Chains A and B, each alone.
Chain A
Amino acid sequence: GAGVSQSPSNKVTEKGKDVELRCDPISGHTALYWYRQSLGQGLEFLIYFQGNSAPDKSGLPSDRFSAERTGESVSTLTIQRTQQEDSAVYLCASSSGQGTNYGYTFGSGTRLTVV
């Protein structure tokens, strides 16, 4: 597609429920990243995919968080047993990562609210 697409755009869930967030990167972008941003804060790195592999999972805050990528395309971020502190905007970005084009293209994010 023309840009990075994320769904849903908004998600309200009850504490303790599982949620799944989806990211469709720009076609041909081999690198895909998940970040989260709390209100008025900076971007916190969660996980990075190169192709379908995740060489760096160091940012996942707990074992309730997991992510996968298939077909070097779509990625899903799953949060199990959601807690109120999981409330944030979850941003996905993709990059071709080739040459000097290191810029990320971000999606519009999924705003997750845990009540």
Chain B
Amino acid sequence: GQSLEQPSEVTAVEGAIVQINCTYQTSGFYGLSWYQQHDGGAPTFLSYNALDGLEETGRFSSFLSRSDSYGYLLLQELQMKDSASYFCALLNYGQNFVFGPGTRLSVLP
């Protein structure tokens, strides 16, 4: 099977940089993704890392290290609207994503 671990909560102030970590156990996977979900809303796709290294998309960057079974999402220049839950997810060989438990990010003024 596959399992993912994330911190349950992270708090940061507006304008700061925050890193949300994700560790996983799996026998194999295609890539690691990140999703954002605001309260009451649908998850929205943020990024996908098929290869090791850093992928940058605007204020958000995502990193994957297969040798360390580890990835992270980096959010820069935090804004109040970034307050949400963030999920890492593995794309498994069955062609579906297995999601982590989620990290609730609170951005303070």
Contact = CB atoms under 8 A, between A and B. Distances in A.
Interface residues of A, number: 25
Contacts of B48: 100, 102-103
Given A102-B31, A102-B91, A103-B33, A45 B98 contact: yes
Contacts of B89: 43
A91 interface: yes
Interface stretch (B13-21, B37-45, B66-74, B75-83): B37-45
B56 to A, nearest CB: 15
Contacts of A48: 94-96
The secondary-structure label for the interface of chain A is: strand
B94 to A, nearest CB: 5
B60 interface: no
B99 interface: yes
A109 B39 CA distance: 13
A106 B42 CA distance: 6
A56 B97 CA distance: 12
A38 to B, nearest CB: 11
Given A42-B100, A102-B33, A50 B95 contact: yes
Contacts of A100: 48, 50
A75 to B, nearest CB: 14
Interface of B: 30-31, 33, 35, 41-45, 48, 50, 87, 89, 91, 94-102
